[in-house]
């Protein structure tokens, strides 16, 4: 009986949950410090949207098991996102100095990661726990209009890259 309960819990954890911002919602603006390849810079969602769709993925904490796995997966797909006209950024409540190191070691200099302030976490309603200054694992694709065209919230990092890349490709092909 314990095995069955554990198996059901594991499956439920891996299944996608309802994302905080639904498809069609307006994405709140993000203005933050980010780092790519260890170099810090200012990131603004509105400016990035002028270039095309933006993949924004929230993760709980740099250098943790699932977040490192997810960063490696996004790094492997970074060329595919760029080839399809999308900007990619990861966001966490971690301090920028920690994220600068993470951008080199886990993101492999392929894409930026930025600091998600409490107001951004609230705006996207991606609290790991109510009132916590830490985000859950949620990925979005935001169209240049500022509308969410894909959203996925789930604790397991598997599926975030595949889902966001499929949404970017569908957008590029005019299917969204």
The residues carrying an active-site annotation are: 67
Contact in structure between 107 and 59 (CB atoms under 8 Å) = no
| 3-state secondary structure (DSSP) of residue 81 | helix
DSSP one-letter code for 159? T
Contact in structure between 28 and 42 (CB atoms under 8 Å) = no
Residue 124 dihedral angles phi and psi, to the nearest 5°: -95, -5
Q: Strand 113-115 to strand 138-142: parallel, antiparallel, or no bridges (unpaired)?
A: unpaired
Residue 10 dihedral angles phi and psi, to the nearest 5°: -65, -40
């Amino acid at each position: 009986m314990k095995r069955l309960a554990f198996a059901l819990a594991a499956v439920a954890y891996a299944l996608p949950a309802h994302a905080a911002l639904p498809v069609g919602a307006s994405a709140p603006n993000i203005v933050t410090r980010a780092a790519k390849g260890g170099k810090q810079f200012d990131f603004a969602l509105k400016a990035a949207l002028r270039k095309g769709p933006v993949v924004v993925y929230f993760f709980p904490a740099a250098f943790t098991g699932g977040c490192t796995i997810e960063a490696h997966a996004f790094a492997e797909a970074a060329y595919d996102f760029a080839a399809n006209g999308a900007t990619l950024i990861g966001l966490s409540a971690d301090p920028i100095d920690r994220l600068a190191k993470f951008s080199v070691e886990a993101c492999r200099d392929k894409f930026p990661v930025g600091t998600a302030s409490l107001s951004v976490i609230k705006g996207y309603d991606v609290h790991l726990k109510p009132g916590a200054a830490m985000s859950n694992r949620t990925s979005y694709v935001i169209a240049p209009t500022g509308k969410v065209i894909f959203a996925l919230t789930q604790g397991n990092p598997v599926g975030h890259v595949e889902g966001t890349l499929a949404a970017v490709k569908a957008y590029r092909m005019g299917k969204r």
